[in-house]
Structure 1
């Protein structure tokens, strides 16, 4: 969390600085984030923080689509509900919506799987369902060991929710919290 806090000026941004764990400890969120480049942030609650990956193209229901997922710093748990505008000039400046949210479960010990570089899990959200994988590729940790720059692949596991014909990110661009799109939020200023 130190890296997260060092990158932000909480006097300028409405982003949360930290909060209490959820009662169940299994929250996930996917936030659509129009920073320098549009991307989706996958966050999984584990050990009192939200583990985070930036996914440039967002999730796909096609098992053959491997999406780049770059590990970013852990975020506070209350970030799972953050929707708004991060001021220009601040780290991650731009509009962010809560694109999907729900519960996640891991097939096995998530800590051991993260160490091994292959996390196998299930997401049950409003938009995204079923089995998913995060597979670490050759990447690197920074000096703090927080995974900055660490590359993973995010992809759909085989189950009844597989549907290569669906383009979920374009089919359902709106926030599950406000019903707004990124463009609506930007227009509201």
Structure 2
């Protein structure tokens, strides 16, 4: 079986970056699945959405960040799996390194898949509930057929009690700070 963190480790000089190495093996023991969203000011400001699955964090870069508005579809570019330890990583990735820039944990919590998450991930249709510090309720990640170097997905909020029109409330502007340190990016 291929190492799911091989691409992550290959892209980084783990001797000189403060990012987690990711050598630990994580096994689920009936506990809740974690998620995090990191605000990352790299070459372009974006948000990294990470869902725990099979002992790693499945990851998507969301250029415009999540929206609570069900009418808004946000591009989510699938990127390499990250180690579980990355869920609490905040800091500065030095210039010259992959992903150079500042990172904060913008949101974190647990996610509950609707249906089999492995099947949904493979088929490109994940439906789930988030219970986080900033985001909650039902969400959807759908793989598109758009051309690109990496798989392109869409992150869409379901129309539920936690949904809000973006014109009324922009969660990214209203709550820009880290859920760990309380600091802005």
- By the TM > 0.5 criterion, same fold? yes
Q: Cα deviation per residue 1:33-74 (whole Å; 9 max; x = unaligned)?
A: 000000000000000100000001111110000000000000
Q: Cα deviation per residue 1:134-180 (whole Å; 9 max; x = unaligned)?
A: 01001579xxxxxx610000010121001112100010000000011
Q: Report what 2:84 is aligned to.
A: 77
TM-score of the aligned structures, taking structure 2 as reference length: 0.91
Query: 17, 20, 30: which is aligned to 2:21?
Result: 17
TM-score of the aligned structures, taking structure 1 as reference length: 0.89
1:120 aligns with 2:127: yes
Q: Distance in 2 between matches of 1:20 and 1:122?
A: 26
Whether the 8 Å contact between 1:20 and 1:78 is mirrored in structure 2 is no
Structure 2: gaps spanning 5 or more residues? none
Q: Report what 1:88 is aligned to.
A: 95
Q: Distance in 2 between matches of 1:139 and 1:25?
A: 33
User: Over aligned residue pairs, what C-alpha RMSD do you find?
Assistant: 1.4
Whether the 8 Å contact between 1:139 and 1:149 is mirrored in structure 2 is no
Structure 1: gaps spanning 5 or more residues? 142-147, 183-189
Whether the 8 Å contact between 2:32 and 2:111 is mirrored in structure 1 is no
Q: Report what 2:159 is aligned to.
A: 158
**CA apart distance, 1:115:** 1.7
1:47 aligns with 2:50: no
Q: Distance in 2 between matches of 1:120 and 1:47?
A: 17
Q: Report what 2:171 is aligned to.
A: 168
